[in-house]
């Protein structure tokens, strides 16, 4: 059974949907857009786990506590906020909350002009990233996290709406998504994200058989390369290329390479993590598949898509009962989920539920049923029942219609028909024909549990290695070079400690990692690395140590006897009673009052 790891990621955050505080309820798209852009911006940061939009938006309009949400999403920090539009002005508020103790450790308000919204998103995202790094440990931050997508916020709105329809995974909503993306591109013909969204839609329609396969994929390919010409650093583009490589070109290695590129650009790209899990499991690499599935589950634990990929993994490792439970949950949430219907059909056959499998087409929505699949799956059910004659007659119907796309499916069904029978010679005859015809369906199903009777034959392993070649360059990452060499690290550590002792910058309650880096003339990423990797403390721990020592010193001095404890804390550089009390107990094991009593 595949479940989400219970390990709590220290450097992890979920961005909850920002509340629309505008008088116009139709401005909801805008607050949602702000939320999504911040999620996408933070997701670019390596070594920070960011919950995906799907799982974060699950809690929209739900009355659950921060602790409950944090537990379900397995994160240490929650970001929540609000947006208010008024004419040309926009006010955005945001606050960071530590899940463990419900501690609001940072908040901010921005008042800006509506026309500057993308710049504000960048400013907010950078500041949030800074605060997370200061409090939870090192990761590198680029100079900018949000790129201005479009001059037209209306085009952006259409794009967001289109994506929400597409994520329902059925042809009817995919068509609505296509029309919305088209409207976005009418307003801005250079909007890369809308081109990619359209490519995703056409790829889905091609794969599921609801558009002409070759025409739809040709359209998807054209749109993807158009998007790449506008922005070649966007992970979504390489994820879409991975789909094209797999479903159009039947090129597993190229698909793997493009998926890896998407993950390298954005570790938190959940679709790429899901697809990498898929690419590994169809090649029989269970451990690596599970690794990416667990990453996807950690990023997007509540989405239907991740649940489907988990079910598919369970199906491929022959945990059919668990897969069936998960698929039923997928279909309960979305009865038009085509991939879930397809894998459930295979599960029923493997579980020996032949009657239900043969009647399954009657239980599916009429607009989802593809004739070729109905005939082929019925034939496979009959084959499992050893009614080979009737099964072969059905598949032959598909073969006879050579001009129909279903004839390509017939090669696959013939392969599985003979594989189930254990007829090795004929199984590989049809497998090789499918390879010759560039059939991605064989990649998808070559390792299907239905083919178990032939999996011990040498021809099977030869074909497996042919379809899924070993990679010279795998995901094993080269050890990243340290941001500072040993000599520079020693020199900067000495410079930092001398500066701290002499200038006492920690007495400034507004001191940040960036401002301290500027004072000692070092890049913020290098200072973050130096503190965490060389000195062994994050920024807040490092600075607050000096503030605590200052408090302990002045608390003993008669000169400050007239000042309250919290006043002494402020004199020491703190600007929050809660932060002061928390760090004092952490440093000394005592409360401030207990410490004072011991001095008397």
Return residue ranges of the chain for CATH 1.10.10.60.
490-599
* pLDDT confidence of residue 6: 34
Instruction: Please indicate whether residue 548 or residue 9 has the higher confidence score (pLDDT).
Output: 548
CB 50 within 8 A of CB 176: no
Taking the whole predicted model, whether its pTM rises above 0.85 is answered as no
Q: Where in the chain is the domain with CATH 3.40.50.10610?
A: 12-148
Six token digits for residue 512? 């940040």
Instruction: Determine the CATH number of domain 490-599.
Output: 1.10.10.60
The pLDDT value recorded for residue 406 is 53
Architecture of the structural domain at 12-148: 3-Layer(aba) Sandwich (3.40)
Quote the CA–CA distance of 253 and 176 in Å, as a whole number.
33
For tokens 């879409």, the residue is 240
Kindly report which listed range (140-149, 257-266, 430-439, 466-475) carries the lowest average pLDDT score: 466-475
The pLDDT tens digits of the residues spanning 89-121 come to: 899 999 999 998 888 889 999 999 877 877 888
| Cα torsion angle, 167, 232, 38, 83, sign | negative
pLDDT category of residue 176 using cuts at 50, 70 and 90: very high
Task: For residues 324-341, give the mean pLDDT.
Answer: 91
Give yes or no for residue 479 having a pLDDT over 70: no
| Residue 2 pLDDT exceeds 50 | no
> What φ, ψ does residue 169 adopt, rounded to 5°?
60, 50
The band of 480, judged by pLDDT with boundaries at 50, 70 and 90, is low
Q: Which residues are CB-contacts of 119 (< 8 A; sequence separation ≥ 6)?
A: 112, 148
In this structure, is the dihedral angle defined by the CA atoms of residues 180, 184, 186 and 191, taken in order, positive or negative? negative
End-to-end CA separation in angstroms for the chain? 60
The whole-angstrom separation of Cα 7 and Cα 10 is: 9
Contact 383, 350 (CB under 8 A): no
- pLDDT of 10 > 70? The answer is no
Helix (H, G, I), strand (E, B) or coil at 98: strand
């Amino acid at each position: 059974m595949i479940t989400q790891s219970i390990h709590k990621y220290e450097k992890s955050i979920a961005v909850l949907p920002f509340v629309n505080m505008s008088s116009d309820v139709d401005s909801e798209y805008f607050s949602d857009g702000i939320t999504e852009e911040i999620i996408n911006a933070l997701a670019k940061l390596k070594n920070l786990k960011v919950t995906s939009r799907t799982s974060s938006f699950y809690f929209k309009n739900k009355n659950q506590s921060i602790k409950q949400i944090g537990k379900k999403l397995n994160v240490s920090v929650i970001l929540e906020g609000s947006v208010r539009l008024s004419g040309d002005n926009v006010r955005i508020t945001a606050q960071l909350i530590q899940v463990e103790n419900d501690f609001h450790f940072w908040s901010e308000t921005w008042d800006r002009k509506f026309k500057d919204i993308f710049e504000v998103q960048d400013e907010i995202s950078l500041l949030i990233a800074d605060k997370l790094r200061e409090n939870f440990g090192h990761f590198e931050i680029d100079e900018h996290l949000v790129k201005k997508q479009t001059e037209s916020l209306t085009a952006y709105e259409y794009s967001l709406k289109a994506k929400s329809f597409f994520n329902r995974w059925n042809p009817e909503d995919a068509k609505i998504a296509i029309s919305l993306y088209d409207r976005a591109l009418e307003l801005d013909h250079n909007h890369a994200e809308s081109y990619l969204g359209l490519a995703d839609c056409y790829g889905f329609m091609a794969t599921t058989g609801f558009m002409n396969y070759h025409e739809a994929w040709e359209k998807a390919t054209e749109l993807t390369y158009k998007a790449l010409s506008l922005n070649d650093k966007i992970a979504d583009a390489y994820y879409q290329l991975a789909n094209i490589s797999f479903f159009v070109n039947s090129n597993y290695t190229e698909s793997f390479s493009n998926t890896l590129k998407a993950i390298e650009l954005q570790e938190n790209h959940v679709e790429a993590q899901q697809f990498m899990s898929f690419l590994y499991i169809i090649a029989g690499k269970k451990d690596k598949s599970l690794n990416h599935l667990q990453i996807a589950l950690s990023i997007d634990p509540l989405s239907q898509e991740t649940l489907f990929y988990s079910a598919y993994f369970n199906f491929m490792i022959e945990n059919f009962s668990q897969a069936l439970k998960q698929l039923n949950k997928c279909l309960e949430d979305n009865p038009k989920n085509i991939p879930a219907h397809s894998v459930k059909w295979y599960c029923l056959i493997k579980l020996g539920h032949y009657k239900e499998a043969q009647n399954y087409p009657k239980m599916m929505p009429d607009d989802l049923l593809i004739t070729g699949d109905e005939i082929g799956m019925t034939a496979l059910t009959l084959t499992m029942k050893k009614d080979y004659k009737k099964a072969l007659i059905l598949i032959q119907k598909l073969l006879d219609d050579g001009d129909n796309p279903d004839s390509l499916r017939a090669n696959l069904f013939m392969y599985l028909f003979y594989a189930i029978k254990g007829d090795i010679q004929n199984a590989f005859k049809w497998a090789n024909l499918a390879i010759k015809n560039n059939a991605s369906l064989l990649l998808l199903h070559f390792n299907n549990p239905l083919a178990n009777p032939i999996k011990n034959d040498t021809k099977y392993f030869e074909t497996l290695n042919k379809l899924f070649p070993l990679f010279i360059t795998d995901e094993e990452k080269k050890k990243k070079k340290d941001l500072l060499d040993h000599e520079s690290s020693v020199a900067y550590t000495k410079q930092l400690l001398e500066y701290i002792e002499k200038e006492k910058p920690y007495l400034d309650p507004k001191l940040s990692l960036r401002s301290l880096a500027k004072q000692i003339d070092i890049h913020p990423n290098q200072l973050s690395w130096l503190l965490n990797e060389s000195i062994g403390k994050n920024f807040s721990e490092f600075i607050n140590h000096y503030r605590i020592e200052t408090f302990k010193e002045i608390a003993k001095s008669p000169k400050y006897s007239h000042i309250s404890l919290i006043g002494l804390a402020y004199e020491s550089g703190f600007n929050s009673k809660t932060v002061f009390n928390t760090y004092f107990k952490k440093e000394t094991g005592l409360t401030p009052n207990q410490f004072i009593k011991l001095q008397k």
